[in-house]
């Protein structure tokens, strides 16, 4: 691997993903305390979490904004915006106030994945894109890992409100760092000619930026877009369950208190970190055996989908620690397949359209979370969590079938 600048940029971007998922995960971890204090019921909490999904479903708009303005200014503004909204959570009361802020948070935070894919497409040759995508997605899991201890600390020091203020302040600091450090490969002052040539020589000519903006209608007509978007719609509800509902599940079904939640709720996200690296490792292993890049990604997704069937047994486990172990396997499997299909946007679309394409795939993924969380919020008190774990265990098998059917290998 020639040069170091592109990997330093990935390291900086990991920080953004940590902050992104820390900010969105604080509510889920603090939910048992907030719901009791604010007298919010499960149905109202379902609407709060759904408001975030409504906002984050506008990822195509965020991707188009980033493709138009550029990553340096565009993403810096998005991070600053979501950080201010996160801090505002510390001053709100009532479920409708939370719902309004969650919608705004989703709108700003929806920029993260399109930004990550645009950065990977610009800075990495094809053989490194999977690893780069896996590394920056580790930040998503680490953000969720840090949320339980942050909330526990905030409650002991002051209240749950402090956790939102701290998470938002960290994000504002990062946005300043990004504006000072980041630039595109053509403008970055520390990029050597050798590394620039290494990056460009390993990028497919068919994915070079087009002189004209790629019309959104033409993107929507491509089978490839639907081939990665529909599997995202079926896969992402797992992440919604882990981020927004798992702490409530552990508290209300498994009898965990806040200290136990802080002790155990981060484990599925740690397992997810390993999945972020496992998926690209599977792809690299298959490529070394002369499997085409697109086929290698489809096989990695399929392997993750098979492992995901373990989620179906979470509700059936009599031992709470077995349930946590199964949730960990689910987190590992989810990131194995999720990182794989997310990275495919940079394999299939031109670099000046990749953020928009990734945004549409993100819209589909968050639509899946929205539908799932609305159903869960409306039905959990009457049917329990068990049926929803079963659904999560089988959806990705259907996603794998769609991926193999709709995505075509480039000529």
Q: 61-65, 211-215, 296-300: which range is least confident on average?
A: 211-215
Judge whether residue 340 has pLDDT over 60: yes
pLDDT, tens digit, 9 for 90 and up, residues 292-312: 889 999 999 999 999 999 999
pLDDT confidence band for 206 (50 / 70 / 90): low
Q: Cβ neighbours of residue 314 under 8 Å, at least 6 residues apart?
A: 323, 326, 327, 330, 385, 389
Buried residues in 303-320 as b, exposed as e (16+ CB within 10 A): bbbebbbbbbbbbebeee
Judge whether residue 181 has pLDDT over 80: yes
User: Average model confidence (pLDDT) for the chain?
Assistant: 86
- pLDDT attached to residue 325: 95
Q: 15-24, 41-50, 194-203, 315-324: which range is least confident on average?
A: 194-203
Q: Which of 193-207, 237-251, 291-305, 344-358 has the highest mean pLDDT?
A: 291-305
Judge whether residue 383 has pLDDT over 50: yes
Mean pLDDT, residues 263-291 taken together: 89
- pLDDT attached to residue 204: 65
**In the chain, what percentage of residues exceed pLDDT 90?**
33
Q: 82-86, 151-155, 233-237, 390-394: which range is least confident on average?
A: 151-155
- pLDDT attached to residue 1: 40
CA distance 6 to 150: 31
Q: 22-31, 151-160, 201-210: which range is least confident on average?
A: 201-210
Mean pLDDT, residues 162-166 taken together: 90
């Amino acid at each position: 691997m020639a040069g170091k600048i592109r990997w330093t940029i990935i390291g900086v971007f990991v920080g953004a993903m940590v902050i992104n998922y820390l900010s969105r995960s604080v509510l889920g971890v603090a939910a048992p305390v907030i719901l009791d204090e604010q007298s919010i019921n499960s149905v109202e909490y379902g609407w709060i979490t759904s408001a975030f999904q409504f906002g984050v479903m506008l990822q195509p708009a965020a991707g188009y904004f980033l493709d138009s303005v550029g990553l340096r200014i565009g993403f810096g503004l998005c991070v600053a915006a979501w950080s201010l909204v996160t801090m505002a959570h510390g001053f709100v009361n009532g479920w409708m106030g939370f719902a309004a802020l969650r919608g705004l948070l989703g709108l700003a935070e929806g920029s993260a994945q399109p930004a990550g894919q645009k950065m990977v497409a610009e800075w990495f040759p094809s053989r490194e894109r999977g690893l780069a995508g896996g590394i920056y997605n580790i930040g998503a899991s680490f953000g969720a890992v840090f949320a339980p201890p942050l909330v526990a600390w905030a409650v002991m020091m002051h209240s749950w409100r402090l956790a939102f203020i701290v998470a938002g302040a960290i994000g504002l600091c990062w946005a300043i760092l990004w504006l000072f450090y980041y630039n595109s490969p053509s403008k970055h002052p520390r990029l050597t000619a050798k590394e620039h040539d290494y990056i460009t020589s390993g990028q497919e000519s068919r994915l070079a930026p087009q002189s004209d903006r790629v019309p959104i209608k033409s993107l929507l007509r491509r089978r490839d877009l639907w081939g990665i978007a529909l599997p995202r719609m079926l896969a992402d509800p797992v992440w919604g369950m882990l981020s927004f509902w798992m702490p409530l599940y552990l508290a209300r079904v498994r009898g965990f208190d806040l200290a136990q939640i802080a002790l155990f709720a981060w484990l599925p996200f740690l397992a997810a970190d390993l999945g972020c690296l496992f998926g690209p490792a599977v792809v690299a292993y298959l490529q070394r055996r002369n499997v085409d890049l697109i086929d290698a990604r489809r096989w990695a997704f399929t392997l993750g989908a098979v492992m995901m069937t373990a989620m179906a047994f979470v509700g059936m486990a009599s031992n709470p620690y077995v349930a946590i172990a199964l949730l960990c396997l689910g987190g590992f499997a989810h990131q194995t397949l999720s990182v794989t299909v997310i990275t495919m946007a940079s394999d299939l679309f031109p670099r000046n359209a990749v953020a928009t394409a990734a945004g549409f795939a993100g819209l589909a993924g968050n639509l899946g979370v929205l539908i799932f969380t609305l159903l869960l919020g409306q039905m959990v008190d009457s049917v329990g969590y068990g049926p929803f774990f079963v659904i999560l265990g089988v959806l990705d098998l259907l996603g794998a079938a769609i991926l193999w059917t709709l995505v075509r290998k480039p000529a």
